[in-house]
Structure 1
Amino acid sequence: MVFRASVSKLICLLLSVAMVAFVAVSWALVEADDHVQTPKANTVATQAHASKAEARRQAELLHTSFAGTLSAIHHEYYRSDQGMTIPAVTLKSVFRDLERNHKLEFRWLAINAQAMNVDHQPKSDFEKEAAKSIAAGADQFEGVEEGVYRRVGAIALQSECLKCHLPNRTSNKNRLAGLMISIPIQANE
């Protein structure tokens, strides 16, 4: 029980660092805008991002933060025999907070391994193209539609992940999942 509590505290700490980094970058981008001298407390949560380039930088930062957190927690702390919630599911609560407070959207996508949740199957044409592109070797796939920048970044599935995602594997071929991050941008982008 003590182990589980310390892992939970570590997960919260790592995810807090990731969220602070996101907010810091967001505020820096708002301050860089010629029309805004200082950020307001709710600027990020209520306005579309200024440009596709800024949304891309934020998505890359978030992807790197979440991929690193997921890998570290899965590798160093998660043990399937202890009945713990898997790290990808734990991250969903962080995703919900970011969605609610910053109008961002996150979605796991199955790429070339078994989806553990049917909701992770690619659904839209964009998601299917992203999955195909990443399975073919791309690190990321992006697009803009209806004022929303979307980026799907590859997430390498480590051995710990493949025990469930590919239980009967016959090779050491790399397997991937994807993390889609959606960020609103100005309509003219």
Structure 2
Amino acid sequence: MKHLPELAVIAMIASVAIAMATMGHSRAAVADEAATTEQATAPDKTAQPRPAGSAAKRGVSLEIARDRAEVMHDVYAATLEVLHERYFHGARAAVPARALQDVFSTIQHKSKVEARWISVNMEPMSIDHEPKSDFEKRAAQAISAGKGHLDVVEEGFYRRAGAIPLDDGCIGCHAGFAKKPNGDPKFAGLVISVPLSKQKPEHPKTQSDSPRQQ
């Protein structure tokens, strides 16, 4: 795998992430589909066939949204680590976090699941990565304080901000090679937003697990 071109690797990751974003990862997904099937006791001759991909674009239950967001966080975090270790060699390659933004855009177009980086306790590489919403600002503070992730239900989305530990290479770029940051753990954040179905969900409790070091 390490001999494949970077673009091929990114394309493979996009395919995996799309699969994760558009399929259920819990029994609740099967239950939802079964309930829908049972309700259709008689064929409706006036019903129009749903366009391809419509199932992926409709909202999902809070339970499924939580599961998808967690799995996608793991996929993106692992991809970032692999790209850094095997494909990023200074100025000769695209910065992995920037390359993954192209994957984020593809996933959003295919499944309506959004993802974006936020800065936590290092200078952002782009002003686009500064925490913007109240939730993102609270998430950055929580991750900096040692929380593994923070989540919320708002505006029809389940949003999960998870910690991304930064290694020495990441810290060198963020801090500038002329500066030496203190020894405290450094993190970025990854915010994943999964659209919910229109049923009124129960708001999730804030999680307080410790971030996993890479």
TM-score bracket, normalised by the shorter chain, equals 0.7 to 0.9
Report sequence identity in percent.
Answer: 35
Shift in Å at residue 28 of structure 1? Answer: 7.0
Alignment of 1:1-189 (within 5 A): 6-25=5-24, 30-33=29-32, 34-37=34-37, 41-49=52-60, 51-82=61-92, 84-167=93-176, 168-187=179-198, 188-189=200-201
Letter paired with 1:121? E
* Distance in structure 1 (CA, Å) of the matches to 2:132 and 2:77: 22
Of residues 72-81 and 14-23 in structure 1, the stretch that sits farther from structure 2 once superposed is 14-23
Describe the SS at the equivalent of 1:108. Answer: strand
**What is the TM-score when the length of structure 1 is the normalising length?**
0.86
Q: Could you say what the CA RMSD is over the residues aligned between the two structures, in angstroms?
A: 2.4
* Distance in structure 1 (CA, Å) of the matches to 2:197 and 2:170: 37
Describe the SS at the equivalent of 1:142. Answer: strand
Q: Deviations over 1:105-159 (max 9, x none)?
A: 1111000011000011111111110100110000100001122110000011111
Of residues 168-177 and 155-164 in structure 1, the stretch that sits farther from structure 2 once superposed is 168-177
Shift in Å at residue 180 of structure 1? Answer: 0.3
**Paired residues, what number?**
184
Structure 2: state its 5+ residue gaps. 38-50, 202-214
Evaluate the alpha carbon distance shift between residue 143 and residue 134 of structure 1 in structure 2; reply closer, same or farther with a 3 A threshold.
Answer: same
* Distance in structure 2 (CA, Å) of the matches to 1:47 and 1:131: 29
* Distance in structure 2 (CA, Å) of the matches to 1:44 and 1:91: 25
Maintained 8 Å contact 2:157/2:196: yes
Describe the SS at the equivalent of 2:5. Answer: helix
Shift in Å at residue 26 of structure 1? Answer: 5.8
Evaluate the alpha carbon distance shift between residue 26 and residue 47 of structure 1 in structure 2; reply closer, same or farther with a 3 A threshold.
Answer: farther
**What is the TM-score when the length of structure 2 is the normalising length?**
0.77
Evaluate the alpha carbon distance shift between residue 17 and residue 164 of structure 1 in structure 2; reply closer, same or farther with a 3 A threshold.
Answer: same
Evaluate the alpha carbon distance shift between residue 170 and residue 180 of structure 1 in structure 2; reply closer, same or farther with a 3 A threshold.
Answer: closer
Describe the SS at the equivalent of 1:144. Answer: strand
Letter paired with 2:90? S
Shift in Å at residue 71 of structure 1? Answer: 0.8
